[in-house]
Amino acid sequence: MIWLDTIVQGLLLGGLYALFAAGLSLVFGIMRLVNLAHGDLIVFAAFLILVVVQMTGLNPFLGALIAAPLLFAFGWLVQRVVLNRVLGKDILPPLLVTFGLSIALQNGMLEVFSADSQRLRAGPLESASVDLGPVTVGIMPLLTFASAVMVIFALNQIFYRTALGRAFRATSDDPVTASLMGINPASVFAIATGLAMVTVTIAALFLGMRSNFDPSIGPARLIFAFEAVIIGGLGSLWGTLLGGAIIGVAQTVGAQINPEWQILAGHLAFLAVLLVRPRGLFPRAVD
């Protein structure tokens, strides 16, 4: 029974990792951009929600609703002004630019918000739980998982059912040919990054409500997110959800055996998948 509980908790934790990873999966899938600042952007979004909440007194969910369009604009602008100019066959320039962004964001936040731990207060929701027969699960983890599924579902709808999604897939497969068909890759990329920042806002909302956050926690979130994306396979959004779940379950099972093995078990699961499938489980696009 303890194992069933462990696996359920792991799946729900995987929902949080899938949320971290959804935006990354989108930009990585469409433009092969290794965004090393993704984790810090999540923390940045959490601070932005916190500022909105403190200024207006709204609850965090409404705060996120206000923060989302601001972050969409921020992502759009960063992609337009900076990232589009360094994208290419060579992965190093975007790697260094996003590393620079990561260092700048971390230290900028440290100056502005200090190193103190912060939290988004969600009232009684934080500790509420529901009895599901053999296991009891927290409302908050359940809500996180449901949001992850909804975010992935919505992104998939955009990806496969809209003209914008067609442009995403075409640019992902071959930017040169796509641009011959009247698609402007630069603006497609900018919209994709904007959308990714909206998912980052949702991830930040749940990160902030579930645990404390401070300016230094970004990189650890980044590595989990990347593992989820790579396990799932390039460009496969449902794969990303599965990847998050695999990392989450591996972590809780590892922690059940020995609390010090939690993070280690997640990494080992990632390496094991990659050993068998070097391109992840369900790669949609080719590199």
Partner 1 sequence: MQISVTTRTRASTIAGIAALALIGLGLILPAFASRSVIQDLFFILTLLTLAQLWNLIAGYGGMVSIGQQAFVGIGAYAMFAGVILWGWDPIAAIPLGLGAALVLAVPMAFFAFRLQGAYFAIGTWVIAEVTRLLVAQWKTLGGGTGTSLPREATADIWGVKAIAALLGLRDAAARDVLAYWLALAMAVGTMAAIYILLRSRNGLALAAVRDNDNAARSVGVDAARLKWAVFLSAAAMTGMVGALIFLQTARISPDAAFSVTTWTAYVIFIVVIGGIGRLEGPIIGVLVFWGLQTAFADYGSWYLFSLGLIAIAVMLFAPRGLWGLFTDRTGIALFPVQRRLTTTSQGDSRNG
Q: Is 57 left (phi over 0), alpha (psi -120 to 50) or beta?
A: left
Residue 107 CB, nearest approach to partner 1 (Å): 4
Q: Pairing between strand 129-132 and 135-138?
A: antiparallel
Which of 11, 81, 3 lies closest to 246 in space, CA to CA?
11
- C-alpha–C-alpha distance, residues 121 and 268, integer Å: 34
If the CB atoms of residues 93 and 123 are measured against partner 1, the closer one turns out to be 93
Residue 249 CB, nearest approach to partner 1 (Å): 17
If the CB atoms of residues 86 and 154 are measured against partner 1, the closer one turns out to be 86
If the CB atoms of residues 34 and 281 are measured against partner 1, the closer one turns out to be 34
Burial 270-286 (b: 16+ CB within 10 A, else e): beebeeeeeebbbbbee
If the CB atoms of residues 61 and 99 are measured against partner 1, the closer one turns out to be 99
Residue 20 CB, nearest approach to partner 1 (Å): 14
Residue 193 CB, nearest approach to partner 1 (Å): 15
Residue 278 CB, nearest approach to partner 1 (Å): 5
- C-alpha–C-alpha distance, residues 19 and 110, integer Å: 24
Residue 90 CB, nearest approach to partner 1 (Å): 9
- C-alpha–C-alpha distance, residues 259 and 215, integer Å: 25
Residues 218, 200: contact at Cβ < 8 Å?
Answer: no
If the CB atoms of residues 2 and 275 are measured against partner 1, the closer one turns out to be 275
- C-alpha–C-alpha distance, residues 237 and 126, integer Å: 28
If the CB atoms of residues 182 and 278 are measured against partner 1, the closer one turns out to be 278
Residue 81 CB, nearest approach to partner 1 (Å): 9
- CA dihedral over 69, 74, 77, 82, signed as positive or negative: negative
If the CB atoms of residues 52 and 247 are measured against partner 1, the closer one turns out to be 247
Which of 107, 101, 109 lies closest to 36 in space, CA to CA?
101
Provide the binding-site residues for partner 1, judged by CB under 8 A: 28, 32, 34, 82, 85-86, 91-93, 95-97, 99-108, 110-111, 219, 223, 226-227, 230, 260, 263-264, 267-268, 270-271, 274-275, 278-279, 287
Specify which residues 137 forms β-bridges with.
130
